[in-house]
């Protein structure tokens, strides 16, 4: 038997285990998935927990329930990859040999990287929402909070789901409006970037939206430290922002497994061919999703779209060929704005988000860079699609490759 080992059972690892279980002859190939967690999380749902859209049960399930029966699941921690000898060494010391390996180890919030972030106010007045524990703590805080200055800040980029901080401040505006205390809540969004998004057309639309909702913006704000005594965040250039409630996207870094394996960059992301999704160092290793250093958003949709390319190239290499299919960096994301509306962005390595219709020209039904009720329902339906189709690798009639059909160029 030949082994293909998948490290990580999140979105990418689970999706690939299901794809390969259908594509490979399992009398010849043994698929092994390694992950220490018994739980699988619908991470986009964490954003909605503080605002009581979802409860914990809706965003947590059992990892094993989404893996094919014939896939071997090792619920344990992988210590490191030995690429020269094609082995995964487990924390227990056991060695798992592979013929091919897929790294789907993700990216992770690292609040320890910012001085003062996990001080006395951590999860009392300072919160994260990229973890289940942080989102639930913030839900409890918001249920009784009577107002003050709410600051949402991004510590450093890149981060997973880069639109989530923007969604957070928009949902906060809606939440406190519905509670009748919006006039008692000042909302400020601080970002290290020069604008609220990375591309100009989307930045213009989103900046106007934040202005309409009376949400203040502080750009090029690089957090140096958190002053717990003064309840303030301090930037490297000396600017200081006070808060009553501080919500943060901490520094994101790749897995420590990648660092211990000696195959990552300074942020523990794996140098990866952006077209073939093959490790730059080891041809028998492929990388999917947030674990890779791709010049693209670290978003769930990228994993879904890139999995098609990875599967085709992996199968080609297994047969002695070359990885010929090229991933184009396709990403799309619904951005929930509250008030039962959302917008949609769709872009790639080479094309920024543009207005128009998606996925079909003229009829859509989803509108790009425009707030609509249909987009809102698309965002909510995505959770059902995730649990029932996406991670189970069931086909969805949306092309994985980026297309200009339905889009309008902006001069």
Per-residue model confidence as pLDDT tens digits over 370-399:
999 999 999 999 999 999 999 999 999 899
- Give residue 83's pLDDT band: very low, low, confident or very high (50, 70, 90): very high
Task: Check residue 308 and give its pLDDT.
Answer: 97
Domain boundaries, the chain: 2-47+60-108+253-318, 109-252, 331-390
The SS3 call for residue 125 is coil
**Token reading at 91:** 């924390």
- Give residue 306's pLDDT band: very low, low, confident or very high (50, 70, 90): very high
How many CB atoms sit inside 10 A of residue 24's CB? 18
Mean pLDDT score, 203-209? 97
* Of residues 208, 138, 151, 219, the one with CA closest to residue 185: 151
Class of domain 2-47+60-108+253-318: alpha beta
CA 129 from chain centre, in angstroms, equals: 12
Task: Check residue 368 and give its pLDDT.
Answer: 98
User: How many Å apart are CA 212 and CA 91, to the nearest integer?
Assistant: 52
Percent of all residues in the chain with a pLDDT value above 90, rounded to a whole number: 98
Mean pLDDT score, 169-194? 98
User: How many Å apart are CA 268 and CA 81, to the nearest integer?
Assistant: 13
Class of domain 109-252: alpha beta
Task: Check residue 121 and give its pLDDT.
Answer: 98
**Token reading at 367:** 């509108």
Percent of all residues in the chain with a pLDDT value above 70, rounded to a whole number: 100
User: How many Å apart are CA 24 and CA 229, to the nearest integer?
Assistant: 58
**Bridge partners, 355 (sequence order):** none
How many CB atoms sit inside 10 A of residue 90's CB? 17
Mean pLDDT score, 40-46? 97
**Token reading at 396:** 């969805």
Average pLDDT, the chain: 97
Contact by Cβ (8 Å): 172, 150: yes
Task: Check residue 391 and give its pLDDT.
Answer: 97
Whether the pLDDT of residue 411 is over 90: the answer is no
Contact by Cβ (8 Å): 300, 160: no
- Give residue 246's pLDDT band: very low, low, confident or very high (50, 70, 90): very high
pLDDT digits (tens, 9 = 90+) for 351-361: 999 999 999 99
**What letters, b where the CB count within 10 A reaches 16 and e where it falls short, cover 168-206?**
bbbbbbbbbeeeeebeebbbbbbbbeebbbbeebbbebb
- Residue 84 has, within 13 A of its CA and on its CB side, a CA count of 2
- Give residue 132's pLDDT band: very low, low, confident or very high (50, 70, 90): very high
Mean pLDDT score, 293-300? 95
Mean pLDDT score, 145-172? 97
């Amino acid at each position: 038997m030949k082994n293909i080992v998948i490290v990580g059972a999140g979105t990418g690892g689970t999706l690939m285990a299901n794809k390969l279980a259908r594509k490979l002859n399992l009398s010849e190939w043994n698929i092994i998935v390694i992950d220490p967690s018994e739980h699988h999380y619908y991470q986009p749902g964490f954003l909605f927990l503080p605002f009581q859209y979802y409860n914990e049960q809706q965003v947590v399930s059992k990892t094993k329930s989404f893996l094919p029966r014939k896939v071997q699941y090792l619920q344990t921690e992988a210590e490191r990859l030995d690429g020269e000898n094609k082995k995964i060494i487990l924390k227990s010391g056991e060695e798992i040999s592979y013929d091919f390996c897929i790294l789907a180890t993700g990216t992770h919030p690292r609040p320890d990287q910012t001085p003062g972030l996990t001080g006395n106010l951590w999860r009392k007045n300072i919160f994260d929402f990229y973890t289940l524990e942080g989102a639930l703590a913030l839900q409890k805080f918001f249920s009784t909070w009577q107002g003050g200055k709410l600051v949402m800040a991004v510590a450093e980029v890149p981060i997973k789901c880069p639109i989530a901080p923007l969604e957070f401040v928009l949902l906060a505006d809606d939440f406190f409006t519905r509670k009748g205390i919006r006039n008692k809540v000042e909302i400020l969004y601080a970002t290290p970037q020069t604008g609220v998004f990375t591309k100009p057309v989307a930045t213009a639309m989103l900046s106007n939206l934040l202005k309409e909702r009376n949400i203040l913006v502080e750009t090029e704000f690089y957090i140096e430290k958190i002053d717990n005594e003064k309840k303030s965040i301090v930037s490297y250039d000396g600017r200081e922002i006070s808060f009553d409630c501080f919500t943060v996207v901490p520094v994101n870094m790749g897995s420590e497994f990648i660092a211990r394996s000696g195959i990552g960059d300074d942020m523990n992301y794996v140098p990866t061919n952006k077209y073939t999704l093959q490790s730059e160092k080891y041809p028998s290793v492929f990388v999917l999703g947030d674990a890779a250093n791709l010049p693209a958003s670290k978003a769930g949709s990228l994993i879904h779209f890139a999995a098609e390319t990875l599967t085709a190239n992996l199968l080609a290499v297994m047969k002695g060929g070359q990885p010929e299919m090229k991933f184009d960096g396709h990403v799309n994301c619904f951005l929930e704005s509250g008030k039962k509306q959302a917008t949609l962005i769709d872009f790639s390595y080479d094309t920024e988000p543009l207005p128009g219709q998606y996925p079909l020209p003229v009829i859509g039904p989803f509108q790009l860079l425009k707030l609509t009720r249909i987009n809102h329902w698309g965002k909510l339906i995505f959770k059902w699609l995730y649990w029932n189709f996406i991670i189970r690798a069931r086909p969805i009639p949306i092309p994985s490759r980026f297309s200009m059909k339905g889009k309008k160029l902006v001069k």
